[in-house]
Structure 1
Amino acid sequence: GWFVCRLGPGSERGLAAAAHEALEVASRGCMGRGMVGVSPSEQSHRTDRVAWLRDMPSAMALRKTMDLLRAVGLAISRQGQCGLQLFESTDGMIACYEDGGYYKPHFDCDRDALRDGSTRERILTTILYLNIGWRRDDGGALRMLLKEEGAWRQVWPEMGTLVIFRADQILHEVQAARARRFALTVWHIGQESAKT
């Protein structure tokens, strides 16, 4: 499953502060090449640069935004209607795609490990976009393959857009951006709830 919405009135100031912190992190050269889940043979699979919030204790607006994404996962788990049991959340990761940046189609977890139950894996992805004044001409859309529709769904990385999807079920990609693009991601570790 998946869900997309825009954060409502009252969130603008906090989001703008988080976006400015992300820009500052990128401008200071504090980001490394995105390597999570990428084997050496797949290094051309993605061109983003990333930083983890644990390495940025003074980025208070980004940390508050990360807390929001963690709370979303907790609420989904507590609600119980999605059939997920979530154990913990990852640290927040800020990703920056420069002009021409992309991430080829991928899943956000090791699906084989999740299937055999040998390890806890990412099962839910929460992303919040921090791109002030993003235009569709800037590209950089998130594309998700929705099996139930048999089609790709496109989500523009506009400021305050929240995207939630099953990390183990939704094949997705970031199309080439034509402007600097920021996304804050928190993954939620868990499993499907036992069916009764």
Structure 2
Amino acid sequence: MNYETLYEKITSSLITDGYIVIEDALSKYLISELLTTAKQSQNFQQAGISASNQKHIDENRRRDQIAWLDEDGSCVSEYLSFINGLREYLNRSLYLGLSYYEAHFARYKEGNFYEKHLDAFKNFKNRVVTTVLYLNEDWSEEDGGELLIYDKADNVIETVIPHANTLVVFMSEEFPHAVEPAKKDRYSIAGWFRVDKR
């Protein structure tokens, strides 16, 4: 599938606004397959908060569970192929020097949340561009779990309902964000383009 138009749209928005929210971003079939894969995963672990290799659990700040993505020769590989194309396009267009991408499935069970935070760790030049792809079918505003995106003045500038096939891309160092408590299981893929070495 040719994603050049989508890559161009994302790149232009990163230049002008620093972020973009795109509904119906990818194929419905791919989203459905990714959701099935996430639900079947046996690798979910409680997420931590740390820039180091030592995991620090703080359930007062975040309560989601994560399962890191690896090539699977199927839907995950298809998604990662799309993402790698975006990485190459961003590097050609914006000279960001993005060296690799890391991502995980995120599962928020009922009541789970993530307080306001930045994806780029302080004093670490690593995560440059954040991506979030939502996988939730039949999600309504009453189900909670919204992504709140803030500006540097602490104002909410975007409230994203985590509908299936909604893609959010933003500059990691510029936009604090939070996840409101979910009222039922909520699935997404969170990922980061990085400039450091693996």
Q: Deviations over 1:97-138 (max 9, x none)?
A: 001110011111123233xxxxxx001001111111111111
Q: Give the conservation status (yes or no) of the 8 Å contact 2:105–2:190.
A: yes
Instruction: Give the number of aligned pairs.
Output: 176
Aligned to 1:123: 128
TM-aligned CA distance change 1:183 to 1:53, over 3 Å: same
Question: Aligned with 2:174: secondary structure?
Answer: coil
Q: Give the conservation status (yes or no) of the 8 Å contact 2:87–2:98.
A: no
Question: Aligned with 1:78: secondary structure?
Answer: helix
Counterpart of 1:12, as a letter, is K
Q: Deviations over 1:28-79 (max 9, x none)?
A: x42001115377474421101101123xx54721232233233223322222
Aligned to 1:168: 173
Q: Does 1:16 align with 2:32?
A: yes
TM-score (norm 1): 0.80
> Where do residues 1-196 of structure 1 align in structure 2 (5 Å cutoff)?
1-8=18-25, 11-25=27-41, 29-37=42-50, 40=56, 42-54=58-70, 58=72, 60-80=74-94, 85-114=96-125, 121-147=126-152, 150-190=155-195
Which structure has greater strand proportion?
Answer: 1
The gaps in structure 1 that reach 5 residues or longer are 115-120, 192-196
Q: CA RMSD in A?
A: 2.3
CA distance in 1, matches of 2:160, 2:60: 23
Q: How far does residue 13 in structure 1 lie from its aligned partner after superposition?
A: 0.9
Question: Aligned with 1:91: secondary structure?
Answer: strand
Q: Give the conservation status (yes or no) of the 8 Å contact 1:69–1:126.
A: no
CA distance in 1, matches of 2:155, 2:90: 25
Q: Give the conservation status (yes or no) of the 8 Å contact 2:21–2:167.
A: yes
Q: Which shifted more, 145-154 or 98-107?
A: 145-154
CA distance in 1, matches of 2:73, 2:178: 27
Question: Aligned with 1:70: secondary structure?
Answer: helix
Counterpart of 2:121, as a letter, is D
Q: Give the conservation status (yes or no) of the 8 Å contact 2:49–2:56.
A: no
Question: Aligned with 2:98: secondary structure?
Answer: strand
Question: Aligned with 1:86: secondary structure?
Answer: coil
TM-score (norm 2): 0.79
